Amino acid sequence: MKIMEKKITLFKMDIPQRAQHFLECGTEECDRNCEFYCNPCHQRLCKQCRDEHLKRPQNKNHEVVLYQQHKRQLPVEKCKIHPTKDVDMLCEECQVPVCSKCVTQQNHRGHIFTDLETIYAKKYAIFQEEISKIHQYFLPISKDLQKEIKQDAAEIKHIMDNIRTSMKTEGETLKSLVDTVISENMKQLDQIEQSLLEDLNTQDKTMDDYITYLNNLVKELHKCLSSTETQKLMSEKKPKIPSIPETTKPVTPRFTAGQYNKSDVTKLLGKIQVTNTKAQKREIRPIESVYNTAMKPTHKQMKEGKTKSDKKQTLSLSASVTKVREFNVPGVDDVRHVSLDQSERLWISDSEGNLVQTDLQGNVIQKIETSGGYGYHTVTQDRDLIFTNKEKNVINRITQDNTVTEFIKTGDWSPLSIHSSHINRDLLVGMMKDSEAIVTRYNKTGKELQNILRDNKGQELYSYPHYITENINGDICTSDLNRKAVVVVNKSGQHRFSYRNQKSEFRPYGICTDVLGHILVCDVISETVHLLDQDGQFLSRLLTKQQKIYTPRSVCMDDENNLYVGQCNTNTLTVYKYLQ
């Protein structure tokens, strides 16, 4: 039993759950990182212990591989016929696990035997593959569809409310004549709404049952994998995962406004029309388009994501950083934040509330006065400028025709930082209220979708989120001044890691990500830009005083993979190239 407990523990350690988790070498009194694995000995080894292991004469023919390529160890199971022997082979004709002594028995004479550990490893991999399919395809697609169903239900309510408003507006001028007609129309509309919502609730329940079934199937598969009875695992058939249930999008009625004519009250007020259009089935991507041992991009990713993915295949970190150009920005005292406009223009702000739009040579196109801040503005893919007003607790939008509107009211929360997603066009906003801090996700129409406040232990994630951005995998990366950390959560809001410089004090300011998933963040203490990988591991100090960067406060990447760096005490914007 102790041996099996040890094997289960090793299996749980196979997949790191956090960015800084690692496997230790299995050699006694060695605490170095595990890199290799001896398949015959089933022992984890670091590089030094691997060399020592292979120096021993009895081990010279041992197969030592990278840990990721190691064979799964066969569970210890005693032979039912020879209790002192372990089963380690499979009789191909009888299809039963046997021990070495069983091979000599009369009932197995002349039979073909196969190494059970090899077959076990293949079977194990098949079940792992099915679990992976459920987690990476069936569950995400099902949850996306369920979310779409709930959104459709809310949209139905919104559409119905708009129709009611139109009906009431039409009837105001002739109210004495239309009470009966309105009552009949309202009743018809309520029946349609009830029918549509009942259908959507039924679809929602169907998806909920299906998701529950998938989760239970995963548990059953895990139970098979953890079984100590090899025969049981070998006899289990590959599960057949049922297709995702079909769902349909609701077909909403239309309201046709009437003409003001006292002789025809019904025509004046209009009537509700129910089309004969057949409900359109929601699209379910085939598994082949999503899963082929690795997940492909989701249908929500934009065409720009494909372009970046293509570039990613050919890009890597350069050995050195090259200065491309440099220009001054009139109208600002320093460069605290930069937002890139797709039309090769920039929005640049300082600490005094000046927000200036320039071309790539620094020529001013327009200037507006704002309440100021740090990472408080962003540009959408529609080229609208979005910026916060922390004094009035609103988020403003300026469209291409220079129309300014109060886009989102944030209530009691004061918006500090904002970023427009290039993946799904959502807005990510870092906000404060008294001593609390939060990151809120809005969709492109300003509807609140998600609030991120605490980690899975109930601890507050943020303190002062003054810059925010999004990585290529959907991670939300926040520069938190008071936490002295870069706080990163996944797109579901689950805390992934918090980066803090372990060797010295760290105070993060401007933050951005590149096409390779690197995170770049300004540090005012070391007066440099830290380069991190996607999992929060420190890679290098990208810019130092050797590049004549002394007080970096803002960073921004353009579509040509150029890095724009703004500094605190100057209105100079410098452009660098660090990817090749």
Cα separation values, 291 from 221, 248, 298, Å? 19, 24, 11
Tell me the CA end-to-end span of the chain in Å, nearest whole number: 54
Q: Which two tokens stand for residue 306?
A: 């494909």
Query: What 3-state class would DSSP assign to 77?
Result: coil
* Domains in the chain, CATH or no CATH each: 1-70 (3.30.160), 118-296 (no CATH), 311-579 (2.120.10.30)
Closest CA to 379 of 427, 414, 449: 427
pTM of the entire predicted model: 0.51
The pLDDT of residue 229 is 73
Q: How would you classify the pairing of strands 436-442 and 36-38?
A: unpaired
The pLDDT of residue 267 is 65
* Three-state SS annotation for 209-258: HHHHHHHHHHHHHHHHHHCCCHHHHHHCCCCCCCCCCCCECCCCCEEECC
Residue recorded with tokens 């293949």: 122
The widest CA-to-CA distance across the chain, in whole angstroms, is 108
Q: Tell me the C-alpha distance between 546 and 473, whole Å.
A: 32
Residue 224 CB burial class (10 angstroms; 0-12, 13-18, ≥19):
middle
- Tell me phi and psi for residue 132, to 5 degrees: -60, -40
H helices present in 69-174, as ranges: 116-133, 139-172
Q: How would you classify the pairing of strands 394-398 and 385-389?
A: antiparallel
DSSP conformation letters of 558-577: -TT-EEEEEESS--EEEEEE
The pLDDT of residue 437 is 96
Q: Tell me the C-alpha distance between 477 and 439, whole Å.
A: 10
The pLDDT of residue 131 is 83
Mean pLDDT by 10 residues, the chain (580 residues): 32 36 73 83 89 89 82 82 89 88 86 84 81 83 89 88 81 67 82 90 92 90 79 77 89 73 62 71 71 40 45 69 92 94 87 92 91 94 92 93 90 96 92 94 92 89 96 94 94 90 85 94 92 89 81 92 92 91
